[in-house]
């Protein structure tokens, strides 16, 4: 226990996790008081669950605690692979030396968890490789992505049941009576490319392939670093893309001649060479 306490103290944490009685990680966000606001079913027995952008694994371990038959935690270990605007990308020697999943591995061992961690970019997530899931959870991930609609489409392909999305909406644009988004990639703060209003998030969920979309809750979660983040939670289901593999780009395998117009404007064979 003493050794585990030392490892926990030496690790940077995004999530607050109770790893043992009296042993709690010093996470940036303590989501424990807010879990009930997201609308997870009380029990997940027999269900296959995907946690997108798992980081330290708070939601993956919560799904396991609620009885899920299988839980997959999807994330990247190398922060170089995140979406960075060119002028905002840190210098090579400024990236963390250790893997992003160090906290997850430590918590996984301490909890005796069976959650499977898959290192994969969401843009590359494919049901042909991962299968489909009864419940997909994604919290505060899409807000940091350059291609939000593409990411949502990937989730729609993986989701055969319910998708729970928790993201930050634009308070300013929420005053508008139509979907809209603010471009913020060059702001001097955490990388956020686009911040849609609540109508914008709902519209993108529908465009990505979900037939049924409803807003579940809005609330603000404080951090332990002195700032707070507004959340809007949506529940989406009825994906028209569920189980469909990601289309592969067509590769050029042959060179074909360009058709040539004849003298009379008809499309046909190239003109014959002049007689000798």
Set out the domains of the chain in order of their start, with CATH numbers.
27-230 (3.40.50.150)
Phi/psi-derived region of residue 204, left when phi > 0, alpha when psi is between -120 and 50, beta in every other case: alpha
pLDDT at position 249 is 79
Contact 215, 207 (CB under 8 A): no
Contact 251, 233 (CB under 8 A): no
pLDDT at position 270 is 55
- With 0.75 as the threshold, say if the pTM is over it: yes
pLDDT at position 99 is 84
pLDDT at position 154 is 98
pLDDT in tens, the chain (276 residues): 669 999 999 999 999 999 999 999 999 999 999 999 999 999 999 999 999 999 999 999 999 999 999 999 999 999 999 999 999 999 999 998 888 889 999 999 999 999 999 999 999 999 999 999 999 999 999 999 999 999 999 999 999 999 999 999 999 999 999 999 999 998 888 999 999 999 999 999 999 999 999 999 999 999 999 999 999 999 999 999 999 999 987 666 666 677 776 655 555 555 556 565
């Amino acid at each position: 226990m003493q050794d585990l306490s030392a490892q926990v103290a030496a690790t940077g944490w995004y999530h607050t996790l109770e790893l043992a009685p009296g042993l709690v990680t010093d996470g940036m966000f303590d989501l424990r008081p807010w879990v009930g606001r997201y609308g997870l079913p009380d029990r997940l027995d027999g269900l296959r669950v995907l946690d997108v952008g798992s980081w330290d694994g708070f939601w993956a371990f919560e799904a396991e605690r609620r009885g899920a038959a299988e839980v997959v935690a999807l994330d990247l270990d190398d922060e170089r692979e995140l979406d960075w605007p060119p002028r905002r990308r840190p210098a090579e020697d400024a990236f963390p030396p250790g893997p992003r999943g160090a906290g997850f591995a430590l918590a996984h061992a301490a909890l005796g968890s069976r959650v499977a961690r898959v290192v994969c970019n969401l843009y590359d997530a494919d049901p042909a490789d991962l299968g489909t899931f009864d419940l997909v959870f994604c919290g505060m991930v899409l807000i940091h992505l350059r291609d939000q609609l593409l990411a949502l489409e990937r989730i729609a392909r993986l989701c055969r049941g319910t998708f729970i999305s928790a993201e930050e909406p634009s308070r300013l644009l929420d005053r508008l009576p139509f979907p809209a988004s603010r471009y913020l990639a060059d702001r001097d703060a955490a990388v956020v490319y686009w911040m849609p209003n609540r109508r914008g998030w709902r519209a993108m969920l529908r465009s990505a392939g979900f037939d049924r979309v409803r807003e579940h809750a809005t609330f603000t979660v404080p951090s332990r670093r002195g700032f707070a983040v507004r959340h809007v939670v949506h529940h989406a289901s009825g994906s028209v893309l569920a189980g469909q593999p990601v289309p592969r780009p067509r590769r050029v395998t042959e060179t074909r001649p360009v058709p040539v117009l004849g003298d009379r404007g008809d499309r046909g064979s190239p003109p014959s060479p002049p007689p000798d």
